[in-house]
Structure 1
Amino acid sequence: MTTDGQDTATRNTRPPLAQAAFGVGVIVRDGQGRILLGRHRDGTWELPGGKIDPTHESVAAAAARELREETGVDVPESAVSVFAMVHDVVGGINRISMGALVTVESAVAEVTEPHLMSTWRWSDVEALPGALFHPSAQILAAWRPDLGIAHPPAHHLPIAAP
């Protein structure tokens, strides 16, 4: 800021007006091919995941952190494969959800946030419980379109490994 009150920040250093939420949903697959889903206190079933911190945290790092914080399942960032970006709009805000996949031989998921989640359970992908959280349904549909999972419209961008 100059002495006359002019903003001297350049276009490269001024933050844009916020208009999006940026998160990650983690499909955790076990050695039997099941996936981990949690029952949220509002009644929906969802993948582990959450917001990506605005601290230069990578999507893979956020996925590993959220998985650990929400379930106690600890995986290294290098075990996370980011496979898709899903974009929809809710209440005038762009919602961008990254789909990530982690495979573990087995794991015991703990309810570490009982104010949010009532349980975690391993589910057969062919017999998912009803009432999925919309971003989780969108990520699961991007991962396995053959499952015919109903979800609100969303744009889907597959991400290829480099």
Structure 2
Amino acid sequence: MDSDAAMIPARNSRPPLAQAALGVGVIVQDTQGHILLGRHHSGTWELPGGKVDPTHESIAAAAVRELREETGLEVAERDMAVFAMLHDAVGGINRVTMAALVRVESGSPQVTEPHLISAWQWTRPEALPTPLFDPSAQILAAWRPGLGIEHPPAHRLSVLPEDAQVKS
């Protein structure tokens, strides 16, 4: 047995016990300031988004992928601004939701997952439909606290853009 291999703790090669879900929600804003919301078949309104794949996918890449899969809208990863991490707990599982924002010049969102979403709609932030899906409400409240959006409590960590991060 290699002496270096014997020194590596076994816990580095075992995955941790799952106790969290990681997702991303995308605020898509057009040039008039409207945001895109989808009407879920359950009755809630939600931002495009979903789970981050466990394939070494970045948060921005997941946001771009989910937006494309759910609406057909194509944006560049470099244009996706991840601005906050929100954390709450549901059913004994930590839910970590990354909040992202992208601005688009134009676009006609398509219902690409009709088993989930019945329609996409551009909405003024001051006139949001209800009820909102809880993670979407949390993201929108983190983005624009002055809107007075009711939502379950969530811890918030602001995420700085790469070029603004502290250099060591």
Question: Which TM-score tier does this pair reach, normalised by the shorter chain?
Answer: over 0.9
SS at match of 1:16: coil
Q: Which moved more, 1:8-17 or 1:60-69?
A: 8-17
Deviations 1:8-61 (A, max 9, x none): 972222100000010000000000000000000000000000000000000000
Deviations 1:120-154 (A, max 9, x none): 00000010001000000000011111111000011
- For residues 90 and 83 of structure 1, the distance between their equivalents in structure 2, rounded to whole angstroms, comes to 22
> How many aligned residue pairs are there?
155
Question: Which residue does the alignment assign to 2:63?
Answer: 63
SS at match of 1:131: coil
Question: Which residue does the alignment assign to 2:166?
Answer: none
- For residues 108 and 132 of structure 1, the distance between their equivalents in structure 2, rounded to whole angstroms, comes to 22
Question: Which residue does the alignment assign to 1:3?
Answer: none
Question: Which residue does the alignment assign to 2:165?
Answer: none
Q: Sequence identity of aligned pairs in percent?
A: 70
Question: Which residue does the alignment assign to 1:32?
Answer: 32
> TM-score when scaled to structure 2?
0.90
- For residues 159 and 16 of structure 2, the distance between their equivalents in structure 1, rounded to whole angstroms, comes to 25
Q: Structure 1 segments of 4 or more deviating over 2 A?
A: none
Question: Higher helix fraction: Structure 1 or Structure 2?
Answer: 2
Question: What is the letter of the counterpart of residue 108 of structure 1?
Answer: S
SS at match of 1:24: strand
**Structure 1 residue 160 displacement after superposition:** 1.1
Deviations 1:61-100 (A, max 9, x none): 0000000000000111111000000000000000000000
Question: Which residue does the alignment assign to 2:122?
Answer: 122
Question: Which residue does the alignment assign to 1:78?
Answer: 78
- Give the RMSD, CA atoms, in angstroms: 1.0
Question: Which residue does the alignment assign to 1:107?
Answer: 107
Question: Which residue does the alignment assign to 1:134?
Answer: 134
- For residues 60 and 87 of structure 2, the distance between their equivalents in structure 1, rounded to whole angstroms, comes to 18
- For residues 99 and 63 of structure 2, the distance between their equivalents in structure 1, rounded to whole angstroms, comes to 9
- For residues 9 and 146 of structure 1, the distance between their equivalents in structure 2, rounded to whole angstroms, comes to 49
Question: Which residue does the alignment assign to 2:43?
Answer: 43
Gapped regions of structure 2 (runs ≥ 5): 1-7, 163-168
Gapped regions of structure 1 (runs ≥ 5): 1-7
